[in-house]
Amino acid sequence: MAQREQSFMRGTIALSVAAFINRILGFISGMFVARVLGAEGIGLLMMAHPLVPLVITITELGLPVAISKLVAEAYAREERLKIRRILHVSLAVTGLLSITLTAVSLLGSEWIASIMLSDQRAYYAMLAITPIAPIVAVSAVLKGYFRGMQQMKTIAASDVLEYSVQIACVLALVHLLMPYGIAYAAAGAMAASVISEAISLLFLMTSYKLFGEARVSGETWSSHLKHGRSTLAELLKIGLPTTGQGVIQSLYSAFQPLLIATSLAMAGVSTALATKQFGMLAGYAFPLLFMPGFITQSLSTALVPAIGEAAANKNGLLMHERMNQALTLGLKVGAPATVILFVWATPLTTLIYDSPEAGLLLKIMAPLFLMHYFDAPLHAILLGLGRASATLWNYVISTAFKAVAILVFGSQFGIVGVTYGIGIGLVMQTLLNFFSVSGSIGIYVNVQPYIKVGFCTVLMALGGRACLDFLTAQGLTPLWSVIGSITASLLLYFLALLATNALKWKPSRRPNSVPW
């Protein structure tokens, strides 16, 4: 048990550290691109990008999760040949699908652009990002293998390498293409992603060649594919249930820019202004909102097999312990992040993006986005319990509600209404996942940590606001006022957690637990 606990924690820590580095690198890259391209250029990027996740989702078929599970089981039974077969069959399926769909996307690019892009200047960016699908698909298969082998450091290193290369390529290509116009500069930023993904894939392939399973005597590609029908059936049995949600999510992401543009047009907003406002929301506010969530996302990645193992062993105590660890960590990370993004909304968007008007959108989303820090662990718990269908229907219901809310609120209140619509959809999705978990195994919520963190959060908000006003009154520059006040507020939050003994990693479920 202790060894499994260490494996669970090591995986979480490795992924968290890598995710933190990647968020910083990605944020630096995004900040540079946002300043050079402006809100209008970011809007073009956001419009061009959603087609690719759809192609990737279809080509992956949910196989990365299935690969990690089947590889782990085969490794435990020392079935080396099956591990190799799983990898070969997965690569053949994803490679064939991704190349076919990418070719179709390139050949039909003009027709796709005429339907999906509300601003045709995004066509070049869409064209530049399309070749990324086969690269990402093959990388996902290799990452699924390394997850199954519990080699999280390899995945972490490849991700850091990818973001490092991406920053260098973005700096070079955007600077090189900007004189030709904003549409070409946006295409250069997209091309940088393709190059960085290719470098990451080369790293993963080299790592597999050096540290992967040795070739079994007599094996060939044809023998793997000839006897791989049962292996493919096993993979699809696990992977297909998660593909449905991915396809719907990608389809919605592809049409969301058009939906938002339509709602803003109904509100009397011009196409150029709608593109700029969408860029502020998707390119300025959302990177700040998603940045602190790397810890819960990393924990969720390690949580799926942990919950699955506990459920298979019918270990309810361990299952609830892991669940409480994830939800409590989401609270402790999400609460201070919400305070910072709400209290310092306008100063942050002004300093980082030179866009004070984006501060209002960030301030609206911050309190609603607190639910995101709980949604990722809840989603992982449902997957670990084998309830992928529940996550699918929860997403379908919340997405349909979000689309209606965007159209209704956006047509009445413009970009502010769109922001509220997106936030309300997120809250609904989290609540639906919460009730699904509760209906499956019950949730015992220990109320003490929530009360303690709530008190610490209020103290942080009041102290941070007072500190910001004081530093500003002393004549400090906006940069140092923001840095100083945020640092002081985080220190106050941490000291308050220590004083209230709210930093325990291993929460108890009783006696102060409320069942759901």
Residue 221: predicted pLDDT? 59
Residue 508: predicted pLDDT? 47
3-state class of 179 per DSSP?
Answer: helix
Using one digit for the tens of pLDDT, what is the confidence trace for 122-146? 777 878 888 888 898 899 889 888 8
Residues 130 and 226 in one domain: yes
Of 234-243, 287-296, 372-381, 487-496, least confident by mean pLDDT is 234-243
3-state class of 167 per DSSP?
Answer: helix
Q: 514 lies in a domain?
A: no
Bridge partners (DSSP) of residue 515 are: 444
- What is the bridge-based pairing of β-strands 444-446 and 513-515? antiparallel
Residues 226 and 303 in one domain: no
| pLDDT range class, residue 316, cuts 50, 70, 90 | confident
Q: 26 lies in a domain?
A: yes
| Helices (H), ranges, 280-293 | 286-290
Separation of alpha carbons 144 and 242, rounded Å: 15
Residue 404: predicted pLDDT? 94
Residue 226: predicted pLDDT? 63
Q: 513 lies in a domain?
A: no
Q: 493 lies in a domain?
A: yes
Residues 82 and 59 in one domain: yes
Q: 255 lies in a domain?
A: no
Residues 195 and 215 in one domain: yes
Domain end (from 395, 412, 445) = 445
Residues 441 and 453 in one domain: no
Contact 420, 409 (CB under 8 A): yes
Residue 511: predicted pLDDT? 42
Q: In the predicted model, what is the mean pLDDT of residues 309-338?
A: 81
What secondary structure letter does DSSP report for 513? E
Domain count within the chain? 3
Look-up: residue for tokens 């305070």?
339
Contact 67, 90 (CB under 8 A): yes
Residue 2: predicted pLDDT? 46
Residues 441 and 451 in one domain: no
Give the residue with greater pLDDT, 245 vs 350: 350
Residues 420 and 354 in one domain: yes
Please check the confidence at residue 207 and state whether its pLDDT lies above 70. Answer: yes
Residue 49: predicted pLDDT? 67
Residues 316 and 327 in one domain: yes
**Residue among 127, 249, 250, 136 at smallest CA distance from 189:** 127
Please check the confidence at residue 31 and state whether its pLDDT lies above 90. Answer: no
What secondary structure letter does DSSP report for 178? G
Contact 307, 323 (CB under 8 A): yes
Separation of alpha carbons 160 and 284, rounded Å: 22
3-state class of 446 per DSSP?
Answer: strand
What is the maximum span of the chain, computed from C-alpha positions, in angstroms?
77
Q: Write out 232-270 in H/E/C secondary structure.
A: HHHHHHHHHHHHHHHHHHHHHHHHHHHHHHHHHHHCCCC
Q: 228 lies in a domain?
A: yes
Using one digit for the tens of pLDDT, what is the confidence trace for 434-456? 999 988 888 777 788 889 999 99
Separation of alpha carbons 324 and 505, rounded Å: 9
Of 44-48, 81-85, 90-94, 276-280, least confident by mean pLDDT is 44-48
| pLDDT range class, residue 433, cuts 50, 70, 90 | very high
Residues 346 and 479 in one domain: no
Residue 378, both tokens: 């809840």
Q: In the predicted model, what is the mean pLDDT of residues 376-402?
A: 86
**Residue among 340, 356, 48, 362 at smallest CA distance from 193:** 48
Residues 337 and 314 in one domain: yes
Residues 431 and 466 in one domain: no
Separation of alpha carbons 322 and 299, rounded Å: 10
Residue 219: predicted pLDDT? 59
Q: 511 lies in a domain?
A: no
Of 117-131, 216-230, 281-295, least confident by mean pLDDT is 216-230
What domain range is 225 assigned to?
1-248
Domain end (from 213, 248, 283) = 248
**Residue among 95, 93, 96, 73 at smallest CA distance from 83:** 73
Contact 203, 161 (CB under 8 A): yes
**Average pLDDT value over all residues in the chain:** 82
Distances (CA, A) of 203 to 81, 155, 200, 350, 394: 24, 10, 5, 38, 37
Residue 1: predicted pLDDT? 47
Residues 80 and 222 in one domain: yes
Q: 241 lies in a domain?
A: yes
Domain end (from 405, 420, 445) = 445
In this prediction the pTM is: 0.73
Using one digit for the tens of pLDDT, what is the confidence trace for 57-110? 777 777 787 787 777 767 767 777 788 888 888 888 888 888 888 888 778 777
Backbone angles phi, psi at 141, to 5 degrees: -65, -45
Contact 441, 318 (CB under 8 A): no
